[in-house]
Structure 1
Amino acid sequence: MIRLLFCLLLVQCAYAQQNSDSGYKKPLQDVLVDIQNRFGIKIRYTDAEVAGRYVTYADWRYRPDAETTLEKVLAPLDLKVRKEKEKQYRLTTFEYYRWPVAEGWAELDRIAAQYHNEQEWEARKALLKPCILQALQLSPLPAKPASAPIITPVRKFDGYTVRNIAIEILPGVYVNGSLYAPAGSKGRIPVILNPDGHWKDQRYRPDCQYRCAALARMGAMAFSYDLFAWGESQLQFDEADHRRSLAMSIQVLGSIRILDYLLSLPDADTSRVGITGGSGAGSHTVLMTALDDRIKVSAPVVAISSYFYGGCPCESGMPVHGCGNRTDNVEIAAMAAPRPQLLVSDGGDWTDKMPEHDYPYLQKIYSYYDQFSKVSNVHLPAEGHDFGVNKRKAVYDFMAQYLKLNRNAADETKITIEQVVAMYVFGEKGEKLPPHAIHGFAQLEKLWNASH
């Protein structure tokens, strides 16, 4: 009798919870267990990821297949699953910046349907550019500090030199980098910006040193620099600040200030200016080229696709993609036309399908100017998300062609990989940071708001 009463109580409790008065509310963990059992799949998650989460109208979200059911169940919670292998999934958070490929392609097709020739495309660019600057809160630009750059003594190597430079971009805010230059050069030489991407060890990485030193040996001054709250910038800001939306604006302002300085040098050739960066710095490369006409050639590496908007708020945190009734990174890349552009893609990340849809779109835009050949794509289907030697070789070839550099001088065996401490501007422990340098994001926000 007691057992029967207990069973009736369980039924009553279940009934009390599962009706329209309670929104058919169920704990997320219970729903996931049921979905696994019903469809014969495995979903990996931690207790913390599901604790305290509930699904309303849970039973009404079920569909005949597992993936559609999971989409309907998880979307209201800003969750999704990532398929790891057949019948196995991993619970993860919703990624606003990563779209299904078909949706990304359809969106680019929608965008492209707005123009069909050079005149219509130029009108579209004229709409996008000022809107993007406004979205970044960079119209007008904040006042430029009057301070001179801080420059360390030159270091001499085989065919090139290096010196570290810090540029004050806002009062008390510095962007830091290393300027690689050809040894014994005469006359005016090209300028190549090299913002650093989202890889471990920042601009101190060997692949970054190889690239910038090789470009210098080829005959250009190559400036390798940190993104905001990245690398030596972390003397002033926490790494977590890099993932704040304002980082996107500070990075653009930093690159503009760097270019101001480099193009003021007596040996800078203002008609031969390039930029290249990988991953998040590839997104930044595209954005800078769209906004700054001083940049004549660009080479974004493992960065751009119509179904990926940039996985860091420093790439997509400010509302630039809302401009012109929405845009995407491929259309922003097209704003470089007809200036030469190389896109390097691979088979191991979100650039895996570049040759299939996005690259033909860019070719079409360049064809409006009868400059079809000035956009190129080097696709490396067997490689992954890095700035490895084959990516660097593609960049060397491209920069040599359009900036009139000596490609044969890009011999990486003659390059010295420096210790990290040698590349600091402000000393091993930041002891040389100017006294008026600000510290912390709260101070930066106050300064930024005052400058607008």
Structure 2
Amino acid sequence: MTKRFPSALRRILLAGGLALLPSLAAAQTGPFDVLPETLDGGPKQQMVRRYLKTQTDAAFAKRKAEYEAVKTPEQALLRQQRLRALMIEHLGGFPERTPLNAFALGKLEGDGYRVEKLIYESQPRHYVTAVLFLPRGEGPFPAVVIPSGHSATAKAAEYNQRAAILLARNGIAALNYDPIGQGERSQLLDENGKPRFSSVGEHTTVGAGSIPLGRNTATFRIWDGMRSIDYLQSRPDIDGKRIGVTGCSGGGTLSSYLMALDERVVCAAPSCYLTSLERLLATIGPQDAEQNIHGQIGFGLDHADYVMLHAPQPTLMMVSTHDFFDIHGAWDNFRESKRFYTRLGYPERVSLLETDAKHGLPLLQREGMLRWMQRWLLDIDKPTIETEFDVFTTADLQCTPTGQTLLLDGARSVVDLNVEYNEQLARKRAERWKKEPADVLLAEVRTRASVAKLDAIGKEAKVLDTQQRTGATLEKIQLQPEPGILLPGLLWTPEKPTGPPVLYVHGDGKAAAAGPDQAIARLVAAGHPVLAIDLRGLGETGGSPDERWGDDWKDIFTSYLLGPSLVGMRATDVLCAARFLAERNADSPAPVRLIAVGRACVPALHAAALEPQLFTAAEFQQTLPNWSAFVANPAAPGQLVNVVHGALHLYDLPDLVSFLQEQKKMKVVWDPIELKD
């Protein structure tokens, strides 16, 4: 395994250097650094973040103009229809409705209410654990669905119980259910049957493995919520036409999604989530996977749109002054939403409750939520007060014998569901690659991965420094594939080149293989000109690689929110460098030998497959074998950066490898790793 640059540098200094390397004594930022420490007024390590901000700012401005153009109820309806359809499309759609097979496991008595413990199937053998808090009496009662925030105890968490009991004691049933990754529904268990990850960690792990399928953690969580409404509507003691939804934090996220997508939700009161994406990115940044819908910034779906998609049905935004979900963004959201509801003729149906509190569901929010639900579900409008009452223990509300649904006979996890779906897609992929022309399929690959066409990639190149070394010349160069992106590179040219030029891209940056007796030195000694570059966000322009996600996960999710993948952006960088290297000798341009290592492999594979004329050989070392393996094992570290949303509807990595291997003048070496946790 290639060692990190600093230790290699110490060895070089002690040994007196290598003839082909620049003088190290004079280097201030390292012998392989090309760019200044500051770019565009900020650290070079944040270049990608600044670039993404430019893209998000433009998208926010475009959405704002589209919002302001909506003046009539008819235009509002068209906007709702368009955004709802796009939201569902980018979530990957929802499965068919199947029998819930619900059954009750026990009953509990409370002060002024009663409780039923439940299990039902949102998909076949994909079990949901829930508790239903019912008022005293016969009903039918209105009901409120309460998805949980990121609490380990989920449905049994005190704040969820207090909201549910308050409703039940005041004439409204409440259904608390466990989300995946929480309570009794962990989807990734260890050998002892215990959760492997926290709720946030599991949500993002499941989400990473869902992305190649065009799905999202939210896809499963929204469907669980919709099926929970189905369950309520199946009961004779519930008035299925009077359904509400409320939840805090992650439950606020799901409340927002459900009110936006399920027209059966009459009124909603999401808590401590709604802000604006612009303020979110400017403050805490993207959060776990289900809070990031693919392309939503790109196609104009902001937090305010969740409220507006629910219009003209009543929505109460519950926010806290000192929440980490920015309060200023919440008020921007409310102002947009209020204007939208006013255009529809229902300004009184959207309101905001701000508590002088931190993140959570404080008493004043619970009381405000109850008053809102009573107003719209019971036609009662009066002040409400939460009196003292006890809550149940987690053990009291446990539904399964072991505390985990996955340990029930025949239970299927989200990973199982994804693997089954991928098996269906694999048959379709194979049929397409067998029958359809490669150029048609590759054009779709380019679009799916968002790889720029060659004639749209910038050609600007600068030589920043030239150093003569024994037997070779070293040039420090920078390439600019597009505004805001600089690719630092090291170009070694032997005095007597005898082999084809080599483009070397390493997932840990150009310095990772540039030490004495390492790959680049050996290639130069063998007579190859070698260009080693840092793809955007790697090497000089990257921070420390994240062991779990493979890169800065906030940048990964910001690009995901925009739509284009980092894989596609970095493939564009590879093409920029390959063309530069191939065309260096204008009198005799020559195809390039491509060597990619680690995180650089998936982008490099896309580049080679889409522009094979640039390459005479391609070697991929320590590469992800295929996305299908990652779908089956999403806990494998370092792969979030390597995924393309929805790619498995069209291709897997071996499809691109096979295409390259069929090229007569192309030599391909494919050396995948074994994907392990």
Match of 1:74 in 2: 45
- Match of 1:229, SS state, is coil
**1:84-99 equivalences in 2 (<5 Å):** none
Q: Tell me the residue number matched to 1:225.
A: 177
Question: 1 CA distance for matches of 2:228 and 2:71?
Answer: 36
Superposed displacement of residue 271, structure 1: 2.4
CA distance in 1, matches of 2:389, 2:305: 37
- Asked if the contact 1:172/1:438 (under 8 Å) is kept, the reply is yes
Q: Secondary structure at the match of 1:197?
A: coil
Counterpart residue type for residue 173 of structure 1: H
Change in CA separation of 1:195 and 1:117 when aligned onto 2, cut-off 3 Å: same
* CA apart distance, 1:259: 0.8
TM-score (norm: length of structure 2): 0.51
Q: 1:405 Cα shift?
A: 6.9
Equivalent residues, number: 382
Partner SS, residue 152 of structure 1: strand
What is the CA–CA distance in structure 2 between the aligned matches of 1:76 and 1:148, rounded to whole Å? 52
Corresponding position of 1:424: 398
Indicate whether 1:333 and 2:303 are aligned: no
Greater shift, 101-110 or 121-130, is seen at 101-110
Letter in 2 for 1:272: R
Q: Secondary structure at the match of 1:319?
A: coil
Q: CA deviation at 1:428?
A: 4.4
Match of 1:171 among 108, 119, 124: 124
1:175: how far off?
A: 1.8
Would the alpha carbon gap of residues 426 and 115 (structure 1) be closer, same or farther in structure 2, given more than 3 Å must change? same
The amino acid that maps onto 1:155 is: L
- Structure 2 unaligned segments of length 5 or more: list them: 1-15, 17-21, 190-195, 208-215, 426-677
Q: Distance in 2 between matches of 1:165 and 1:418?
A: 16
SS in 2 for 1:331: helix
Give per-residue Cα distances to partners, 1:43-100, cap 9 Å, x unaligned.
xxxxxxxxxxx865124x356xxxx423xx232366x9xxxxxxxxxxxxx9x8x999
Does residue 153 of structure 1 match 2:113?
no
Alignment of 1:27-42 (within 5 A): none
- Alignment TM-score, normalising by the size of structure 1: 0.75
Quick one: distance in 1 between partners of 2:56 and 2:88? 28
For residues 352-431 of structure 1, the aligned pairs below 5 Å read: 352-354=327-329, 356-380=331-355, 382-404=356-378, 412-430=386-404
Q: 2:239 aligns with which of 264, 269, 273?
A: 269
User: One-letter code of the match for 1:278?
Assistant: C
Q: Match of 1:363, as an amino acid?
A: K
Question: How far apart are residue 358 of structure 1 and its match?
Answer: 1.9
Alignment of 1:85-234 (within 5 A): 106=61, 109-138=64-93, 141-184=94-137, 186-199=138-151, 201-234=153-186
Q: Distance in 1 between matches of 2:159 and 2:344?
A: 35
C-alpha displacement of 1:389: 1.1
CA distance in 2, matches of 1:283, 1:412: 25
CA distance in 1, matches of 2:330, 2:132: 34
Say whether the 8 Å CA contact 1:345–1:354 is kept in structure 2: no
Give the aligned partner of residue 410 of structure 2: 436
Equivalent residue for 1:253?
A: 223
* Distance (whole Å) between structure 2 residues aligned to residue 210 and residue 262 of structure 1: 20
Give the superposed CA RMSD. 3.4
- The code of the aligned residue for 2:289 comes to P
2:42 maps to 1:13:
no
Contact conserved, 1:378 with 1:394, CA < 8 A, in 2?
A: yes
In the other structure, the counterpart of 1:38 is none
Distance 1:256 1:449, change over 3 A: farther
Is 1:446 matched up with 2:390?
no
Equivalent in the alignment of 2:290: 314
Distance 2:394 2:33 in 1: 50
| Pair 445,153 (structure 1): closer, same or farther in 2 beyond 3 Å | same
Q: Taking structure 1 as reference, are residues 235 and 311 closer, same or farther at Cα in structure 2, changes over 3 Å only? A: closer
CA distance in 1: counterparts of 2:313 and 2:125, whole angstroms:
35
Of 284, 292, 295, 2:254 maps to: 284
Q: How many angstroms apart in 2 are the aligned matches of 1:282 and 1:100? A: 27
Q: 1:297 to 1:114 in 2, by over 3 A?
A: same
* Residue 155 of structure 1: how far off its partner (Å): 0.5
- CA positional deviation for 1:266: 0.8
What is the distance in 2 between the residues matched to 1:169 and 1:117?
A: 38
Structure 1, unpaired ranges of 5+:
1-5, 19-25, 31-53, 81-93
**Contact 2:367–2:386 (CA under 8 A) maintained in structure 1:** no
Distance 1:409 1:223, change over 3 A: farther
Q: Counterpart of 2:203 in structure 1: which amino acid?
A: H
- How much has 1:333 moved relative to structure 2? 1.8
How big is the shift at 1:204?
1.9
Query: Do the aligned partners of residues 104 and 226 (structure 1) sit closer, same or farther apart at CA in structure 2, a change above 3 Å counting?
Result: farther
Offset from partner CA, 1:170-206 (integer Å, 9 cap, x none): 222112211101022x342101010001245423221
Query: Which whole-Å CA distance do the structure 2 matches of 1:359 and 1:167 have between them?
Result: 36
Q: Is the 8 A contact 1:355 1:379 kept in 2?
A: no
Structure 1: how far apart are the matches of 2:326 and 2:387?
A: 30
Q: Name the larger-Rg structure.
A: 2
Question: Is contact 1:275–1:299 with CA below 8 Å preserved after alignment?
Answer: yes
1:282 Cα offset (Å): 1.0
Cα distance in 2 between the residues matched to 1:449 and 1:226: 26
Q: State the AA in 1 paired with 2:287.
A: G
Judge which range, 382-391 or 348-357, deviates more: 348-357
Distance, in Å, in 1 between the alignment partners of 2:256 and 2:227 is: 17
In the aligned structure 2, how far is the partner of 1:178 from the partner of 1:365? 36
- Distance in structure 2 (CA, Å) of the matches to 1:158 and 1:251: 31
Q: CA deviation at 1:255?
A: 0.9
